[in-house]
Amino acid sequence: MELPKKPFKKRFVYLDHGAATPLDPAVFFEMKPWLTTCFGNPSALYGFGVQAKKHVEYCRAAVSKVLESQPDTIFFTSGGTESNNAAILGVARAHKANGKHIITTRIEHSAVLEPISQLEKEGFEISYLSVDNVGNIDIEEFKRKLRKDTILVSIMYINNEIGVINPIAEIGKEILKWRKQNETSYPYFHTDACQAVSTQDLHVEKLHVDLLSLNGSKIYGPKGTGVLYKRRGVEISPLLYGGGQEAGARGGTENVAGIAGMAKALVMAELDKAEYDSVRIIRNYFWNCIKKSIPDVTLNGPDVEDNTRAPQNLNVSFLEVDAETLLLYLDEYGIMCSKGSACETDKAGSHVLLAIGLDEEHMRGAIRFTLGKNTSKRDIEYVMKYLPALVQVLRNNKT
Ligand SMILES: *Cc1c(COP(=O)(O)O)cnc(C)c1O
């Protein structure tokens, strides 16, 4: 069997918004002055510096408003990875005298799992919550794992590979109850919310979180930008010591343009939340098309009708297909998607798909499509012109 004919006019269909989003022109517009004419160092005492400093503080206030917190709880970072590291290593190092037990899940992003595994080497004890076959954690298991020496709980808001949404507010409530019963201020609660901004409630009081990580490059903002929310009164050791910027929490000249872009992207994402109803509809349409026209496919993660699945995520296993080969063929037709997560470091396959119990065959054929706010039905129709044929070719060519 032959490959489908290349289109006369190639269309680019980008279905990897879970890895990176395009920069929104309105975000770029906000960033531009700080990259060009208004280049002053925010620490400088003359007008150019004061102007930059003022803008950083304006952005801090804008971000805090979205989280419904106070400006002094907002710290600008270089992305989700730094925010997670700053939260996890920061709490562990500042509070290890009071306990060395941490609870997390098996399906966290590597930017959480890796600093935690570093802490394990430094003598911390880690409890990993297991998940069921679609990725849900068990609150009862979580409650049983809480101990007097637990200083930190880190549980992601939305999983980047299979789109499962964790009940952050419910977990937060359980932690509050535990603290009250045990008359302690521990454990602190951190959530990696990098994948949650576009669709979920980020009101930190309602979520009962002490620390929350955000990232700019997944919400139509610039790469290399992020935010760490840290509740007042929660002490953390800094990752970067330097000139005392960010209230001493992060040394280094502020990335003013990045901060301007991050803040604008976050404010816009908050306003655009309603648009994700249509993303859900298109995602479900896509899954229905795949099910109808391609045999031997399975969905990874919660059902598409389930409200514990993020509306933009579709993770599918094509049996008897090597995901990486399929991905590269799709690219030839202008269709971009990923296998597992973009920052996959697991050699043995995705640790998330492993945690939900997939066998080798289902892992090998797993593709992640993540839609964006501009993904259209026409994009999906274009994909469906080629995807079934490519899957079939790959299956037939298997010897
Ligand atoms: C992308 C991502 C990160 C890492 O963010 P960077 O800005 O690339 O450092 C962390 N956690 C989750 C869930 C992510 O999706």
- Per-10-residue mean pLDDT of the chain, 399 residues long, equals 83 96 98 96 97 98 98 98 98 98 98 98 98 98 98 98 98 98 98 97 98 98 98 96 93 97 98 93 98 98 97 97 96 93 62 96 96 97 97 86
Helix (H, G, I), strand (E, B) or coil at 6: coil
Residue listed under structure tokens 């139509």? 220
Residue nearest to atom 14 of ligand 1 (CA): 194
List strand residue ranges (DSSP E) for 158-296, in order.
Answer: 188-192, 211-215, 226-230
Find the angle CA(323)-CA(326)-CA(331) to the nearest 5 degrees: 125
Partner residues linked to 190 by β-bridges = 154, 211
How large is the angle between the packed helices 256-271 and 47-67, nearest 10 degrees? Answer: 30
Structure tokens at 356: 């939900």
What pLDDT is recorded for position 342?
Answer: 47
Residue nearest to atom 3 of ligand 1 (CA): 80
125-131 long-range Cβ contacts below 8 angstroms, 24+ apart: 125/100, 125/101, 126/101, 126/102, 127/101, 127/102, 127/103, 128/104, 129/103, 129/104, 129/105, 129/155, 130/106, 130/355, 131/105, 131/106, 131/107, 131/164, 131/355, 131/356
- How many Å lie between the centroid of ligand 1 and the Cα of residue 338? 15
What pLDDT is recorded for position 340?
Answer: 65
Q: Is the dihedral of CA 237, 238, 241, 244 positive or negative?
A: negative
What pLDDT is recorded for position 346?
Answer: 61
Q: Ligand 1, residues 78, 114, 160, 194: which to mutate, most atoms within 8 A of Cβ?
A: 194
Is there a catalytic annotation at residue 343? yes
* Rounded distance between C-alpha atoms, residue 238 and residue 87, angstroms: 9
What pLDDT is recorded for position 374?
Answer: 95
* Rounded distance between C-alpha atoms, residue 262 and residue 393, angstroms: 43
pTM of full prediction above 0.95: yes
- What are the start-end ranges of the H helices in 294-399? 323-332, 351-355, 360-364, 377-396
Partner residues linked to 297 by β-bridges = 318
- In this predicted model, what pLDDT tens digit does every residue of 298-316 receive, in sequence order? 999 999 999 999 999 999 9
Using the atom order of ligand 1, give the atom closest to the CA of residue 341: 15
What pLDDT is recorded for position 399?
Answer: 53
Residue listed under structure tokens 């990875």? 81
List strand residue ranges (DSSP E) for the chain, in order.
Answer: 13-14, 74-77, 101-105, 125-129, 150-154, 188-192, 211-215, 226-230, 297-299, 313-318, 335-336, 366-370
- Residue list, ligand 1 pocket, CB within 6 Å: 79-81, 84, 109, 111, 156, 160, 192, 194-195, 215, 217-218, 226
What's the first-to-final CA gap in the chain, in angstroms? 13
